[in-house]
Amino acid sequence: MFPLQRGRRLRVNESIRSLVRETTLSPSDFMFPMFIAEGENVQVEISSMPGIFRRSIDLTLKEVQEIYALGIRAVNIYVKVSENLKDNTGKEAWNIDGLMQNAIRAIKAACPGMIVMPDVALDPYSIYGHDGIITHGDVENDSTNEALVKMAVSHAQAGADFVAPSDMMDGRVLRLREGLDAAGFHNVGIMSYSAKYASAFYGPFRDALDSAPVDSAAIPKDKKTYQMDYANRIEAIKEALWDVEEGADMVMVKPGIAYLDIVREVKNAVNVPVTVFHVSGEYAMIKAAAERGWLDHDRIMMEQLMCIKRAGASLISTYFAKEAAVLLNK
pLDDT at 284: 96
Average pLDDT of the residues in 112-138: 95
Average pLDDT of the residues in 266-275: 98
Domains within the chain, CATH numbers bracketed: 24-329 (3.20.20.70)
- Tell me the average pLDDT of the chain: 96
State yes or no: is 223 an active-site residue: no
Please state at what angle helix 99-110 crosses helix 141-158, rounded to 10 degrees.
30
CB 277, CB 254: distance < 8 Å: yes
Residues 6+ apart with CB under 8 A from 118: 76, 77, 100, 103, 104, 155, 160, 163, 164
Distance, C-alpha 115 to centroid of its chain: 13
Asked if the model's pLDDT at residue 207 lies above 90, the reply is: no
Asked if the model's pLDDT at residue 215 lies above 90, the reply is: no
pLDDT tier at 246 (50, 70, 90 boundaries)? very high
Asked if the model's pLDDT at residue 221 lies above 90, the reply is: no
CA distances from 119 to 91, 116, 162, 261, 265 (A): 15, 10, 9, 25, 25
pLDDT at 216: 77
Asked if the model's pLDDT at residue 63 lies above 80, the reply is: yes
Asked if the model's pLDDT at residue 21 lies above 70, the reply is: yes
Average pLDDT of the residues in 157-166: 98
Average pLDDT of the residues in 115-121: 98
Asked if the model's pLDDT at residue 61 lies above 80, the reply is: yes
pLDDT at 280: 95
CA distances from 248 to 53, 185, 200, 275 (A): 30, 14, 26, 12
DSSP class of 32:
E
Q: What is the 3-state secondary structure (H, E, C) of 295-320?
A: CCHHHHHHHHHHHHHHHCCCEEEECC
Residues 6+ apart with CB under 8 A from 53: 35, 43, 44, 45, 46
Residues 6+ apart with CB under 8 A from 303: none
pLDDT tier at 206 (50, 70, 90 boundaries)? confident
State yes or no: is 254 an active-site residue: yes
Asked if the model's pLDDT at residue 281 lies above 90, the reply is: yes
* 239 appears as a binding residue in the annotation: yes
pLDDT tier at 211 (50, 70, 90 boundaries)? low
Average pLDDT of the residues in 259-285: 97
pLDDT at 268: 98
Asked if the model's pLDDT at residue 135 lies above 90, the reply is: yes
pLDDT tens-digit readout, 317-328: 999 999 999 999
Which of 129, 118, 126, 152 lies closest to 33, judged by CA? 118
Within 10 Å of residue 206's Cβ, how many Cβ atoms?
15
Pick the range with the lowest mean pLDDT from 100-109, 185-194, 216-225. Answer: 216-225
Residue in 108, 254, 309, 322 annotated catalytic:
254
Distance, C-alpha 142 to centroid of its chain: 23
Residue in 108, 196, 223, 322 annotated catalytic:
196
Asked if the model's pLDDT at residue 210 lies above 80, the reply is: no
Which of 250, 302, 256 lies closest to 277, judged by CA? 256
C-alpha span between 142 and 150 (Å, rounded) = 13
C-alpha span between 118 and 116 (Å, rounded) = 6
